[in-house]
Structure 1
Amino acid sequence: MKHYLYNLLITISLAWLSIPTFSQHINSTLTYQIETSGNISEGTYSPLWFTANRYGLSSNKSNSGYIRSQLEYKKTLKHQWRIQAGIDLAGTTNQTSNFVIQQAYGNISWRFLTLSIGSKERKGVPLEKNEQLSSGMLVEGANARPIPQFRGEITDYVNIPYTHNWLSFKGHIAYGILTDNSWKEKFTQPQHEYGKNILYHSKSLMFKIGNTEKLPIEFEFGLIDAALFGGSRMRKNNDGSSTLMQDMPNGIKSFFKAFFPKQSSNKIENVEGNHVGSWNFSLNYYPHNWKIRLYLEHFFDDHSQMFWQYGRWKDGQLGLDITFPKNNFISNVIWEGMSTKNQSGAILYDGFAGSFPEYQISANDNYYNNGEAMSWQHWGMGIGNPLLPGPIYNSDGSLMFKSNRVRSQHIGIAGTPSIEWKYRILLSYVRHWGTYNTPLDKLSTQFCSLYEITYTPHWSKGWSTSIALGIDRGNYLGNSTGGIITLRKSGKIL
């Protein structure tokens, strides 16, 4: 079966290459891209940046690869209507599944409104961090495989009438379902639990103040909130079978409770499902040909952090993104400092608070972990920031994040020495404390790095090659050194 899938992907890819290119001026386009990638490394795991922020089409195993074929259609209709559809298939080796439907979606848009259905690599929600250089968002990012969903969105900022282009907004609302039932059932070891048929919800609203034609400065602010809910809790038995532990609420009320977080019927949990979110702020300055961006993502896992009651500045990500004037050396530099260590403190409950109900102690937020939906993951990869390694790294078959209390420093550098050559460098240093409930025996540290160059020859008509070196050192994920090479071809059919 595996060889059949590879042959199928190769056949599709060669078919795209054999289709002639048309140059007529039409209001529709049909584009393709084929891509193959492989990595070899030594160590228990592949270097982190070989795995992280690749939309789940990657592996933490020391040797893996894929061949991928994409097709996308866009058409502009009358009265500002637009349609878009795409299919993206991959055959893999040494990954979580041998055949991957990475993307399969259809969009219909009118003016600034879009209805999107299916799985899609959705970029820039909500702060539009530099995807090539940033370590990623704390809530949703490029780390895990896309989640199929129904999604209504305003993807780009829209000016609010009567504000003279000084105030604009964007946002989205989405509902979907995770697709990793088979992987979780296989990965989970006896006496551990996993969620089955887990549902997904996400929403965001962002505002931007500023008119760069009048003043070279902008301020962005807003909120993203997301949840995993519903489904069933299963327990893996010693004989390999699974036992139903609990059917979680799945009715229409649960969809409303995902949108407006409400108390769970299980009183152990604050709200129904696993809710995470962040407040996001960005100050953008455009002096001459520069762009300087300072941003803050304040993460929350419950109401106390959402409304800034505890540790207002202790947990989250602070970043600085500098875009340089055009030159042959450096185009972008990013620095990010992140902390998830505080989590409102270690105390969850005590007798004093129980004796006086008017007092509440909120702490031990246990980021990304949850008793109902298990954890904030899809196909083993964390849906949020990859510097908190997901369950795919757990050797005991648990779906929990083993270390969600971290502090990190991250640097990303990119440049374009010529029109044919570009490079990027990622450097990350992370300190791990484990969790409040299960702390590590001692402080663990991890250094992860990526050094990548991409060559796109002018004569090649859509061909490009990327070669990267990854070097990891530390006592949390261990030491690893490896190389990865990616070859791609893109072009236009219509």
Structure 2
Amino acid sequence: MTKPALTVLLLAALVSSLSIRAQVAKGLTYTLESGTTFSSGTHAPLWLSANKQGLSSISKDNGYFTAGIFRPMDIDTDKRFSYAFGLQLAGAYNFTSSFIVQQAYVDLKYRSITFSLGSKNLVPEFVNPTLSSGALTLSGNARPIPQLWIGLADYLAVPHTNGWLSFRGHIAYGRFTDGKWQKDFSTPNAKRTEDVLYHSKAFYFKVGNEQQFPVNFQAGLQMETEFGGKQYVNGNLTRLPSKFKDYLKIIIPLAGGSDSPVSDQLNIEGNIVGSWHASLAYHPGDWKFRAYYEHYFEDHSMLAFGYPWRDGLIGLEVTLPQNPVVGQILYEGMGSKDQTGPDPNDPTRHQVSVRDNYYNHSIYTGWQHWGMGLGSPLLTSPIYNTNGNLYFYNNRVLSNHFGLSGSPTSELSYRLLLTLTRNWGTYDIPIKEFKQTYSLAEITYSPLKLKGWHFTASYGTDRGSLTGNNNGAMFVIRKNGLLLK
């Protein structure tokens, strides 16, 4: 028996055994899913592999089976204390792993404060998870990072504001899990890392009371950091600081100490990335209009206004009244070409922070996990590299992205994606302008007579000089339902 087949049997046995043990928890749900992709060309088309929480593959032919059990938090909405948990395992072929622990987490909530421990799929901030091309800092493109997360999962109203002002935020620490994979993927002398630590923090506020007025404004700051761990270059090992003081330094970004690499002593310890977010929504009757903006940064000059904010993601999303044709329309424009500009010799500036080289870093293997970029998949992920280097060779991109979805009947739904990009490589390794187009057509059938069953067929294409001409079809069968009442 092959290893994937054995994995499938074990997963099925796990779900079956849990259904017998009614004492585990009330409201337990399950999900079983199988997906297969067939492609021609060099890779699977981008929109058949991107923004799937890393449970995907760029190999032109691949497949997986996954089983999960979950207890949702909303069962206990009337209680001060509530809890949730989830476990999702997968067996796969032509993936980066043949066995994957996709999710394994426990959530505890007391009043408004949530504690989450483990590996959990997270929805990106402020963008539509099914129609967007992906947020710039965290898009759901890579596997989740195991972490301890503490914060407000939902907005909490500020006292005495009558619900017009609310806020949320979090702080988290975790660890990347791809050290062994990096060793297998990289050439012997290439840069790679192991046991790298993770830190995340964010604060958002909302102005508006939708029960009284159909407009709300949201904005905030999100920051993510890689720190600690071990770096290997040309076979040489460098241990990066991860003492208690380093955990504190990462909260308020500070320069590294004497045990840090020289570059961190001169700048800030670790690899820090982040975004400013803003969103304005208007809900007149059954319509919904929402405009949003994300400004990405990799150093303090772009965190503030040291240089003009020429790069970022802008979007407009329209939700139509219920109809059998179109449910949502989305447009996004994304730019990462400027990166504070190419010229490091501007005599008018006391400090020069140009050529930011998005998602790359001098010490770490960049803003990636298991080869997939943690941010926008339009900045070509290292998993596509054939030279054994974990490097983003294409991070200067301009794109126009369109999304469309709807439900013609109670049993049928669809989505369409079209992305037009222009690509220039990096400042250090430029390429002549490459144009690349990505598209997706997808339909899901959810028969009313087969409750909980969903059948999805997707067809994707890539056209251009960057990742080549690829055509592929993906078929997914999913069954979900209530395991324990």
Report the TM-score when normalising by structure 2: 0.94
In the superposition, relative to structure 1, how do residues 329 and 67 fare at CA in structure 2: closer, same or farther (>3 Å)? same
Provide the alpha-carbon RMSD of the alignment.
2.1
Cα deviation code 1:283-329 (max 9, x no counterpart): 100111101000000111100000022122x1000000100000000
Instruction: Report the counterpart of residue 334 of structure 1 in structure 2.
Output: 330
Matched-pair contact (CA < 8 Å) for 1:311–1:342: no
User: 1:464 is aligned with what amino acid?
Assistant: H
User: 2:332 is aligned with what amino acid?
Assistant: E
Cα deviation code 1:168-217 (max 9, x no counterpart): 11111111000001110000013211111111111111100011222111
- Pick from 250, 260, 263 the counterpart of residue 268 of structure 1: 263
In the superposition, relative to structure 1, how do residues 21 and 320 fare at CA in structure 2: closer, same or farther (>3 Å)? farther
Give the Å deviation of 1:154: 1.1
Q: Distance in 2 between matches of 1:327 and 1:366?
A: 45
- Pick from 461, 473, 476 the counterpart of residue 483 of structure 1: 473
Instruction: Report the counterpart of residue 110 of structure 1 in structure 2.
Output: 110
Instruction: Report the counterpart of residue 94 of structure 2 in structure 1.
Output: 94
Cα deviation code 1:221-255 (max 9, x no counterpart): 1000001111111135xxxxxx3331111111221
1:259 is the counterpart of 2:251: yes
Cα deviation code 1:5-49 (max 9, x no counterpart): 53232343366479879999x992111010000100011111001
User: 1:90 is aligned with what amino acid?
Assistant: A
Q: Distance in 2 between matches of 1:339 and 1:244?
A: 37
Q: Distance in 1 between matches of 2:426 and 2:244?
A: 34
Q: Distance in 2 between matches of 1:289 and 1:152?
A: 35
Instruction: Report the counterpart of residue 469 of structure 1 in structure 2.
Output: 459
Instruction: Give unmatched runs, 5+ long, in structure 2.
Output: none
Cα deviation code 1:43-87 (max 9, x no counterpart): 111100111000111111100010000001246398510111111
Matched-pair contact (CA < 8 Å) for 1:369–1:401: yes
Cα deviation code 1:341-398 (max 9, x no counterpart): 1111112357x68xxxx81122011110001112000000000111112100111111
Instruction: Report the counterpart of residue 298 of structure 1 in structure 2.
Output: 295
Matched-pair contact (CA < 8 Å) for 1:90–1:99: yes
Q: Distance in 1 between matches of 2:473 and 2:339?
A: 36
Matches within 5 A, 1:316-355: 316-348=312-344
Instruction: Report the counterpart of residue 239 of structure 1 in structure 2.
Output: none
Q: Distance in 2 between matches of 1:12 and 1:303?
A: 47
Q: Distance in 1 between matches of 2:118 and 2:62?
A: 27
Q: Distance in 2 between matches of 1:216 and 1:479?
A: 45
Instruction: Report the counterpart of residue 424 of structure 2 in structure 1.
Output: 433
Tell me, what secondary structure is at the counterpart of 2:28? Answer: strand
User: 2:154 is aligned with what amino acid?
Assistant: D
Instruction: Report the counterpart of residue 284 of structure 2 in structure 1.
Output: 287
Instruction: Give unmatched runs, 5+ long, in structure 1.
Output: 237-242
Q: Distance in 1 between matches of 2:253 and 2:113?
A: 26
Cα deviation code 1:403-446 (max 9, x no counterpart): 11111111110000011000001111111111111111x11111
Aligned residue pairs total 477
Q: Distance in 1 between matches of 2:450 and 2:17?
A: 15
Tell me, what secondary structure is at the counterpart of 2:44? Answer: coil
Matches within 5 A, 1:114-129: 114-124=114-124, 126-127=125-126, 129=127
Instruction: Report the counterpart of residue 59 of structure 1 in structure 2.
Output: 57
Matched-pair contact (CA < 8 Å) for 2:25–2:71: no
